[in-house]
Amino acid sequence: MVISGVFKSAAVLILTVVSSLGAAAAGFLTGEERISSGIMRLWGRGFVRIGGWKVRVEGLECLPAGGAILAANHQSLVDIPLVLAALPREVRFLAKRELGRIPLFGYAMAKAGNLFIDREDPRDAVTLVRVATTRMDRGQMVVIFPEGTRSRDGTIGEFKPGAFYLARKTGAPLLPVLIDGGHKALPRGSLLFRPADLTVRILAPVTADDGRALTRDEMAEETRRRIHSAREEGRVPCAGAALV
């Protein structure tokens, strides 16, 4: 099992380098993020396939026809490729500026249209709203990880209200997303792949019963509550499931 995990990790490393080179070159030469995004989507699918994990996707019918913000818990380095592999829609991630500084991979992610923010710079927030609104107007999904860091044991941490600034400012649909199994597949602090079953469960949009606009604190609390309930009780508000 250990030897298999080592080979899988090595194969994913090679895949990541090759995919990043392709996405970076495509973005640099053509200026078209669509091509780079397509390459990174193939990277996500290849990542999951090499891992050998069975992936269950639930709630795709919850996704609106247009753009939306997907708020997911964060368990592992598997999460980003898993979401790319699981969702049939154009996806863009909102990530810390540090991710964009990873040599080659960060550049490739930027060319694929993903968004990076410096949480200490207020000017970034203004630019973020403008760029993210353009993305969602094109029907793209913007994915955020409100915990801000990966869980070591799968426990769902506190959701930072600041992560919901974008949802508050744009008024875009906000959908909670449960990711489960990533902490077993590739635990934090390890690069060794392990057997696991992975789940991506999309939940119904977060709204107030009285139709008013929710505050960021309310969004954070309700989104976390729904994801926690979905993990503990297996709630699937939107019926249906698919295997990837």
Confidence at 3, pLDDT banded by 50, 70, 90: low
Mean pLDDT within 108-127: 85
Higher pLDDT, 21 or 241: 21
Nearest-angstrom CA–CA distance, 119 and 97? 8
Identify whether the C-beta of residue 205 lies closer than 8 Å to the C-beta of residue 62: yes
pLDDT digits 0-9 by tens, 171-223: 899 999 999 999 999 988 888 899 999 999 999 999 865 557 789 999 999 99
- Residue 75, token pair as written in the block: 């368990």
Confidence at 150, pLDDT banded by 50, 70, 90: confident
Q: Which helix (H) or strand (E) holds 68?
A: strand 68-72
Mean pLDDT within 147-172: 88
pLDDT digits 0-9 by tens, 211-227: 577 899 999 999 999 99
Asked whether the predicted pLDDT for residue 77 surpasses 70, the reply is: yes
Domains observed in the chain: 2-243 (3.40.1130)
Mean pLDDT within 3-24: 92
Mean pLDDT within 50-59: 95
Res 244: pLDDT: 44
Start-to-end CA span in the chain (Å): 23
- pTM for the complete prediction? 0.90
Give every CB contact of residue 111 below 8 A, 6+ residues apart in sequence.
23, 24, 26, 27, 28, 33, 36
Closest CA to 187 of 155, 231, 224: 155
